[in-house]
Amino acid sequence: MQENNQRNSRKKLNALILLVAFTAILLIVSTYAWFSTQKNVTLSGLEGKVNVAEGLQISLDALNWANSIDLSKTEDYFAQTNKDLQLDGTEGKEKMTLEHPYANRTNIIPGELLPASTTAQDEEGIGLADLNFYRGENTEGIKLAVGNTALTNDKTSGFYAIDFFLQNSSAATATKNDILQLTGNSVVSLKTTSKATTGLQNTLRVAFAIFDYDTAKATQVTVNETPNQSQILEATTGAARKITNVAIWEPNASGAALKEGGEPAGTGDAIATYAAHVTYIVQNNNRVTFSEADRTAFGLTSNRFAADSAIPTYALTKKALSTSADKTKEIADIYNWDTAAATAGLARQFTLQTPNTGVSHTTGAGVDKNINYDDTQGAVKLVSAKDGKADFSIEPGKYVRMRMYIWLEGQDVDCINYASLGGNVKIDVGLSKPGTTTVTGGGERP
């Protein structure tokens, strides 16, 4: 990290590195797909570090700004206030925690990690106060019943949702927003390598949501105005604040099995890096019906995908929900992603797909297969979940509220009973804000 910071400094790049790791221990279940009908996941805690380089700072509460935050020691972080606070902001005996980081706000720290699904697009995340997540119950092979409502945004939901605040000290006179990138040290892996054959590491998603602020209180989010905590919170939180953009990262989305050293693994070889889809799933759950457009975009010659294939995911939308008039409504085929998908309540989930070899090896998977985003930082720019193309960026010279979501995508083809045998998942996430850099095949990027 020190070497990276030195390199960034030499290049005069402003960078934020966010490292988050958590461990999930998964227990055996008996469902076929969407293994959410059993209590199958327990968590041993959230660990990780947040490191901030030149030009940016990060905070969990808009009060304690730091260059580094250890999420496994948040008691030390919140102790910087030198006083106890009640959840309504008044002084008292209740100290802030990662679950309750500031007045009148609760992060979601689940007791178990369960499959959920979202596109995070318009009316599913963008324009709302939180992402809409849905959970289905596998009733018969490829059938799915989805219930009457979206998941409740609380600790029973089975996904993480954690607020962060960024202080972006780029010149407020800048004419362009600062694009956020995913850094090369971002990775999802299984700490227990003997469980890596299950494919669990291929089902996770990490989303970043940017919120608007009260434009009538713009000075309260302007860095040069040096606002205090209450001013920042007043301008960026509350029921009126809505999500303006979302980016979703889909790790381990492509790539073949590799031996130690990076050579392709053959039959009987010891595998160091597992493929994007494990052999069991390719052979036994390879039943997706792709649209012709998706087959073309992802370079698929048929409806069958290979172990190393990057493929799209069609997530649940509100159209999949049962109604008071039809409480038995169900999706007849959760893997039919052709023209009937939208009517059934499924929509394409636009993500930044990175290979099993890591973010720094991204050359553009899936729909972006002809674009190389890889720069000298080994970072890849995030894209909007709205269309998979628009930039994901933050305003210069502003305080920005973001919310990070971590979940198992139930509609991922790897999210079946076999995957539930995995365990000890580790997630490291890095975000960087580059200066002007020349990238291969992409020209000059601001």
pLDDT tens-place string over residues 191-224: 655 556 667 778 889 999 999 999 999 999 999 9
Report d(CA 15, CA 17) in Å as an integer: 6
Task: Report if residue 89 sits inside a domain.
Answer: yes
* CA angle, 275 then 278 then 280, to 5°: 160
Rounded Cα–Cα distance for residues 126 and 244 (Å): 5
CA distance 248 to 242: 17
CA gap 341, 411 in Å, rounded: 12
Residue type, 244: T
Residue 304 domain-assigned (yes or no)? yes
Percent of the chain with pLDDT over 90: 29
Average pLDDT value for the chain: 77
The pLDDT value recorded for residue 173 is 76
Residue 444 lies in a domain: no
Query: Quick check: is 446 in a domain?
Result: no
Asked if residue 442 is part of any domain, the answer here is no
HSE of 189 in the Cβ direction (CA atoms, 13 Å)?
Answer: 16
Query: Is 123 a residue whose pLDDT tops 80?
Result: yes
Here the tokens at position 334 are: 């959760």
Length of the chain: 446
Q: What angle do CA 268, 360, 377 make, to 5 degrees?
A: 155
Cα-Cα-Cα-Cα dihedral sign, residues 219, 220, 223, 225 = positive
Domain that holds residue 333: 2-436
Which residues touch 366 (CB under 8 Å, ≥6 apart)?
253, 254, 297, 298, 310, 311, 312, 353
When mean pLDDT is compared across 66-75, 103-112, 200-209, the lowest value belongs to: 66-75
Asked whether the whole model's pTM tops 0.75, one would answer yes
**Quick check: is 330 in a domain?**
yes
Asked if residue 273 lies in contact with residue 257, where contact means CB atoms within 8 angstroms, the answer is yes
Residue 414 lies in a domain: yes
The number of folded domains in the chain is: 1
- Residues 6 or more apart whose CB falls under 8 angstroms from that of 5 comprise 15, 53, 54
Domain for residue 275, yes or no?
Answer: yes
What's the confidence (pLDDT) of residue 48? Answer: 52
